[in-house]
Amino acid sequence: MNLLPLVWVGIIAFGVAVYVVMDGFDLGIGILFPFARSHDHRDLMMNSVAWVWDGNETWLVMGGVGLFAAFPRAYAILLHALYIPLILMLVALIFRGISFEFRFKAHRSRFLWDAAFSVGSLLTALCQGITLGAVVQGIAVVDGRYAGGPFDWLTPFSLFTGLSVVVGYALLGSSWLIMKTEAELRDWCYKMARRSLLLMLVAVAVVSVWTPIMSSAIRERWFSLPNFYYLCQVPLATILLTGGLWYALKRRHDYVPFYCSVALFMLAYLGLIISIWPYIVPRALTFEEAAAPESSQVFTLVGFLIIIPVILTYTIAGYYIFSGKVKAGEHYH
């Protein structure tokens, strides 16, 4: 086996995982935004991520560029099949980004930027979940080209995965705010985190049942022997971690809920990788078949190996510098 495509799969998978966690709690705050009890609470919620929201999206760009550079055939198929939800996601991210800048300057029109932040976050999360569901359910490919229609991505399964991601991001957002806020807002976040966790459990259970029913290949992967003996550790770990998260919320820990929420997302991500491996376009194109010429992979890999440590360094530094609770009266600018 050529190791280069495998290295690139690892890089892209790492970038997507970091993006899901970092922008997940960011988007989750926007999803919870309309339910906040006061304007002061909304200010604190936005201030908790104002210093990091744009840096979080660096990982989304890196994942897209990596897919284009290392797996151009997969990039062409996926972009063609998912053009509408991806464009909607980008538009939502633009309005959401603008709202950060304008909301703290506006007075009479602040409610419009509140709406832009909330709707942009919700639509971004929904589109990401729909995209995930469309990939898992399979994409029509004939002779290496997308053979479906412009709305093949829109199915009951993809809509449900979209809502599931919204609920999951709300859990990440509420657990982040528990870690970053105090007093009344923090108390409210504990309540929202418990509700989000219950909804997420329902979503995970439904998707876990629906996916193997929908795909015989995924059913064979998880439930054939001896695979089942090894892979059953993933749902067992999920159950144990969920119990730990619920306990941490009841005991009102500050940091444990966020780390448990992140771990739950990583287990779900691991389950996704197990389900579709070794396909990059499920049931149509493996990562080896989709790989770019070796020279292209090597050329781009050099740049990535330089830039990734730089991104990691300033990301870690930023989180360290802005660690601790967000105080009332602190402003974005």
Tens digit of pLDDT for each residue in 67-95? 888 899 999 999 999 999 999 999 999 88
Q: Please state the length of the chain.
A: 333
CATH architecture of 3-321: Up-down Bundle (1.20)
Q: What is the mean pLDDT of residues 299-313?
A: 90
β-bridge mates for residue 281, sequence order: 285
CA distance 172 to 259: 9
The pLDDT > 90 percentage for the chain reads 38
β-bridge mates for residue 146, sequence order: 141
More confident residue, 298 or 318: 298
pLDDT given at position 329: 63
Angle between helices 3-32 and 294-321 (to 10 degrees): 40
pLDDT at 39 over 70: yes
* Token pair 């709707």 in the structure block, residue: 119
β-bridge mates for residue 145, sequence order: 142
CA distance 110 to 92: 18
pLDDT given at position 1: 55
**Claim: this prediction has a pTM higher than 0.85:** yes
CA distance 294 to 292: 6
pLDDT given at position 30: 92
Per-domain residue ranges for the chain?
3-321
Dump strand ranges (E) for 42-159. Answer: 141-142, 145-146
Average pLDDT of the chain? 88
Q: What is the mean pLDDT of residues 240-248?
A: 93
**pLDDT by residue (tens digit) across 260-294?**
999 999 999 998 898 888 888 888 888 888 888 88
